[in-house]
Structure formats: structure tokens, C-alpha cells
Amino acid sequence: MTASAVLYWGLGAAQAMLLLAMLLAALRMMRGPRAQDRVLGLDTLYLNAMLLILVQGMRSGVSLYFEAALIIGMVGFTATVALAKFLMRGEVIE
């Protein structure tokens, strides 16, 4: 096997695992049962999506994917903190 074939199939397998992880997190997000479970599911979902994009960057050899992953990480962090604040207080900005 050549190096590019190893990278293509191996990183593809890693992406399949991350995709399955995203599906499971989405399942938890839809099932609930309570709001904090849904927020936790969303947190896991964006984290796995970020890792998936990072692996996609390696698989395709395009370094631009790094910025997308970084921005998803930052926006996801803000979203989870805002949602946790909302669950605690009932409003985001007091």
C-alpha cells in the first residue's frame, strides 16, 4: 500500500467513527430527557464535528480546514456557556 492509500482509508475509518459519535450525540440531544441532557448532547456534537473537520483536513491535504475547526470550537464553547447560563438564570444577559 502507498502512503496516500493508507492515509485515505485509515483516516476514512477515523471519520466514520467520529460520524457515528456525532449520530449518538444527536440521539442524546433529541431524546433529552431534560434540557441539560440536550445541551450536553449539543456540546458533544460540535466537539465531534470539530474533530471530524480536523481529520478531513489531513485526509484532503488542504490546510484551510484548520480555521473552520478552530471557529467551530470557539462558537461551540460560547453556545454551551450561554445555554448553561440560560438554564441557571432563565436569561443570558442580565
Partner 1 sequence: MTPSDLPLWAAWTIVAVTVFGSLLALIGSVGLVVLKRFYERIHAPTLGATLGMALIVVASVAFWSLTEGRPALPDLLIGVFLTVTTPVTLILLARAAVYRDRVEGDKAAPPE
Q: Which positions lie near partner 1, rule CB under 8 A?
A: 1-4, 6-7, 10-11, 13-15, 17-18, 20-22, 24-25, 27-28, 34-37, 39-41, 43-44, 47-48, 50-51, 54-55, 57-58, 61, 63, 66, 69-70, 73-74, 77, 80-81, 83-85, 87-88
Task: Burial-class residue 53 by CB neighbours within 10 Å (0-12, 13-18, 19+).
Answer: buried
Least distance in angstroms from the C-beta of 70 to partner 1: 6
Least distance in angstroms from the C-beta of 47 to partner 1: 6
User: Which segments within 1-94 are labelled E, that is strand?
Assistant: none
- Select 63 or 93, whichever has its Cβ closest to partner 1: 63
Instruction: Report the alpha-carbon distance of residue 67 to residue 53 in Å, rounded.
Output: 10
Least distance in angstroms from the C-beta of 42 to partner 1: 10
Instruction: Report the alpha-carbon distance of residue 26 to residue 44 in Å, rounded.
Output: 9
Least distance in angstroms from the C-beta of 49 to partner 1: 11
Q: Tell me which residue of 16, 1, 3 sits closest to 61, measured CA to CA.
A: 3
